[in-house]
Structure formats: structure tokens, C-alpha cells
Amino acid sequence: MVGQLQRAFPETGLWPLLTFGAAWGDCGYPWSPHALFGMPDDEVVPDDGGSILYRRWRANYGDSEYLDEYELPMLPWPGLVTPTQPGTERVVDPVGGSRAWSEDGQLMLVPAARPADAFRIVGTDGYNDYPPPAETVAILRSWEDRYGALPLRFCGDRLVLGIRRPPRTVEEARAAVIEMQSFSMDAFNTDDWPEAFEAMRGNPYWEFWWD
């Protein structure tokens, strides 16, 4: 059903967004304040999501005096990358991914001009270093344009994107991982960044968590 709603989006203007299963606490209740902290109607979305990612990268890596040795692969900033061999846009299963994301959840139909703009309505107030809604929309627009990213699941401190044009090479994957980690410092729990880069090659799901 969710796939049908995605395909109907150009006509309905309603983007289907799943929450997580009730086992995740607040994530079973999409109408809680943690799930619906969107933008004021008159707030403008920044034009350049890439500049927001770069600013967040500089704050956490580029200008940091406390980098551990294992964080050195996060330097330097790679710039914004578009996959060089995107091929045909893949169909992303909206209930796929890891076990946590495949649990049953509730369905929200969010009015939006494009999938990324669903976060004009849903989102958080920026706690746990979660970007505020306007910055989230700008970043997701950039990923939608370059990677074909679609928001699949969200609630409070967790987000899953479906990636229709994933990075193909290690260099492209490294750039994507650095952007992901700039968006959420908890996106990867690893001391082995080269392994993380390899794991994101061709990966159709990007998963985020704000601790």
C-alpha cells in the first residue's frame, strides 16, 4: 500500500511516511509533540543544503581540536558528490532495511510539494543536535536531487531514507558517509571508517539516529 501511495504522490500531494513500531516507545505515536514539530508557514527553507552540511562538518571535524586518530578519514571535506553512474532509479521498499525499520508502524500522509518537504510539517525542535526543520528540509532536498533520497520512516530521533541512486564507488561512498555523519553524529557507530565507506556502496537505505 505504501508503494502505491508513493506512486500516487504526484497526483495527491500527500507523501506517505511510516513511523516505527510501538516497541520504540514514542515512535508508535506519530501525533506526539516529538513527531510533529515542523516549520512556521512563513519560514523560508535555505537554498543550499550543502552549505549547512559543510558548516556542521566543520563544527564536528574540520575545526575540531579534539579529533581522535580514527576520525582522520573524515578529513578533508569532499565537497558535494553526485553518483557518476546512477543507472536506473531503483524502487525502494518502504518497509525494508534492517529489522528495526521493518517493524509495523503507523502511517502519516503528509501534504508536501516534494518528498523532502514533508519535514516542513514533521520534525523536531533541534534537540540532540537534530537539525531544525528548515535545515532538515534543505539537506533532504539536496539528497533528493543528488541521490534520489526519499523519506520512508520517521519518529522523533530516528529517520530512514530510501536511496534510489546510491553511491557506486568507494570515493563516492566516503563523501556520502561524511555528509550523513555531518547530518547526524550518531549515524555510524564505528571505529573503522573504511569499512563504513565500503558498506554504503550501493546501499539503498540510509539510517539515522540522534542520541
Determine the Cα–Cα distance for residues 45 and 47; give it in Å rounded to an integer: 6
pLDDT of residue 129: 81
**Residue 187 structural domain:** 2-209
Locate all alpha helices (DSSP H) within 62-160, ordered by sequence: 133-147
Q: How distant, in Å, are the alpha carbons of 39, 46, 47, 55 from that of 3?
A: 27, 30, 29, 35
pLDDT band at residue 208, thresholds of 50, 70 and 90?
very high
Model confidence over 35-58: pLDDT tens digits?
Answer: 566 676 778 898 899 999 999 999
Number of domains into which the chain is organized: 1
pLDDT of residue 183: 95
Please check the confidence at residue 178 and state whether its pLDDT lies above 90: yes
pLDDT band at residue 94, thresholds of 50, 70 and 90?
low
pLDDT of residue 43: 81
Most trustworthy range by pLDDT among 23-32, 78-87, 182-191: 182-191
Question: Is residue 147 a contact partner of residue 83, using CB atoms and an 8 Å limit?
Answer: yes
- Dihedral over alpha carbons 199, 201, 162, 3 (to 10 degrees): -110
Please check the confidence at residue 4 and state whether its pLDDT lies above 90: no
Determine the Cα–Cα distance for residues 161 and 166; give it in Å rounded to an integer: 11
pLDDT band at residue 83, thresholds of 50, 70 and 90?
confident
79 backbone dihedrals φ, ψ, rounded to 5° = 80, 170
pLDDT of residue 98: 47
| 120 CB burial (10 A radius; 0-12, 13-18, 19+) | buried
Model confidence over 120-134: pLDDT tens digits?
Answer: 988 766 667 888 889
pLDDT of residue 166: 93
Q: Which helix (H) or strand (E) holds 208?
A: strand 205-209
Model confidence over 161-176: pLDDT tens digits?
Answer: 999 999 999 999 999 9
Please check the confidence at residue 71 and state whether its pLDDT lies above 90: no
pLDDT band at residue 85, thresholds of 50, 70 and 90?
low
pLDDT of residue 100: 42
Question: Is residue 30 a contact partner of residue 106, using CB atoms and an 8 Å limit?
Answer: yes
